[in-house]
Amino acid sequence: MQDTVFTFGTRPVSLLEASVLAALLLLAFITLLVVSALRQIKARATSEAIAADRIEDLEEHLARMLRSQGEITGRMQTMAEVFSSRQGDMMRAVNERLDGMGHKLGLSMADTTRQTHDGLRQLHERLAVIDRAQKTITDLSGQVGQLQAILANKQTRGAFGQGRMEAIIQDQLPPSGYSFQATLSSGSRPDCLVHMPNGAPPLAIDAKFPLEAFNLLRKAQSEEDLKQAQTQFRRDFTKHIQDIRERYLIPGETQDTAFLFVPSESVFAELNENFEDLVQKAHRARVVIVSPSLLMLSIQVIQAVLRDARMREQAHLIQAEVAHLTADIARLNDRTGKLQAHFAQASKDIDQILISTDKISKRGRKIEDLDLGEVRGEAATSSGERVRLMAGEE
């Protein structure tokens, strides 16, 4: 035991001392190994804790992302329902408004069309009456004798002409379209005033045709009597035309033309056949000679003018309604454009939301695809080694 194994400097080292020194060195080496192992175990534990915290953070972040995705999906469904409801209400309101306006316009057009058809039908009826009246001119010519007997008396003649003229006027025009024996500003009283539309002056009609001289023409037996009767008739007729012009043609108050009513078609025909110069003179004096059929036709023309004026008034109403309808359509177009812009912006926002949702879904799938099983396996292996080391140390 005291044998020298080796000499360390000048001092000999025995076997015992060498054994003790070797044991100390071995103990120091084992201590270093244990410290190194402990450090490795601590580092692995720290890594495992960090990995566990990271996994927990990732799981929490994924849960938040899933919750956000659910909320976004719910909001999108709500927005889609709201947009669908509002669009349905808007379309229903627009359809109701268009239906109402179309119905109103249709009624107005139908009423105007009906009135036009009624007017044309009445015009055709009046033309048929005129045709029948012209066909009876020959029959009326045979009644000249009876007419002469009636017209022999001046007062009776005036009443007859006035009555026939009034019958024609009353049959053709409404009560508001004429007036009998109206007094003018000059004090004259024409037999009839026909009121014209649009505020135009009325038309004067005289029914006092000078038949005394005309009857002398019928009664003339000789050539001399015939010439005298013609001279008398021309003088009386010219004077009556001048009286009508002076009494009834008042500028601004009456029309610049007046009617002279002849109550017999035969007298009117003979006047135009044998006294054309008097007819031309009457025309130059702005006096138109009319027979019963011509007066009826003239009144029908005036009636058509009155009806046309009423139709123009209705046309103004229709044009006003069409203008209102056009304005409503313009406002509807503007509002539809604004609504379309809102829908376009909403559609753009929804597309952006869908893009964000798609990105979130892709990130979620990437997180799901992470190899978390290997990390958990390494953590379990490290824990087992640490337990074994601790058991060996004990």
Question: Which has the higher per-residue pLDDT, 368 or 67?
Answer: 67
Average of per-residue pLDDT across 345-356: 83
Where are the domains positioned within the chain? 16-86+343-393, 137-290
pLDDT at residue number 391? 44
**For residue 152, is pLDDT > 60?**
no
Could you report the per-residue pLDDT of 130-143, keeping only the tens digit for each? Answer: 878 777 877 766 66
Contact 166, 192 (CB under 8 A): yes
For the record, the structure tokens of 386 come out as 């640490």
pLDDT at residue number 8? 66
Tell me the pTM: 0.42
- The single-letter DSSP state of residue 177 is G
**For residue 374, is pLDDT > 80?**
no
Could you report the per-residue pLDDT of 205-259, keeping only the tens digit for each? Answer: 888 877 776 777 777 777 887 788 888 888 888 888 888 888 888 888 888 888 8
**For residue 184, is pLDDT > 80?**
yes
> Cα(4)–Cα(11) distance, rounded to whole angstroms?
10
Handedness of CA 183, 188, 193, 197 (dihedral sign): negative
% of the chain surpassing 90 pLDDT: 0
pLDDT at residue number 361? 81
pLDDT band at 171 (very low <50, low <70, confident <90, very high): confident
Contact 140, 148 (CB under 8 A): no
Give the phi and the psi of residue 203 in degrees, each rounded to 5. -100, 125
**For residue 379, is pLDDT > 60?**
no
Could you report the per-residue pLDDT of 265-313, keeping only the tens digit for each? Answer: 888 888 888 888 888 888 888 888 888 888 888 888 887 877 777 777 6
Mean pLDDT, the chain, as a whole number? 78
**For residue 346, is pLDDT > 60?**
yes
Residues in Cβ contact with 72 at an 8 Å cutoff, skipping those fewer than 6 apart? 353, 356, 357
pLDDT at residue number 1? 46
Between CA 59 and CA 61, with CA 60 as vertex, the angle to 5 degrees is 90
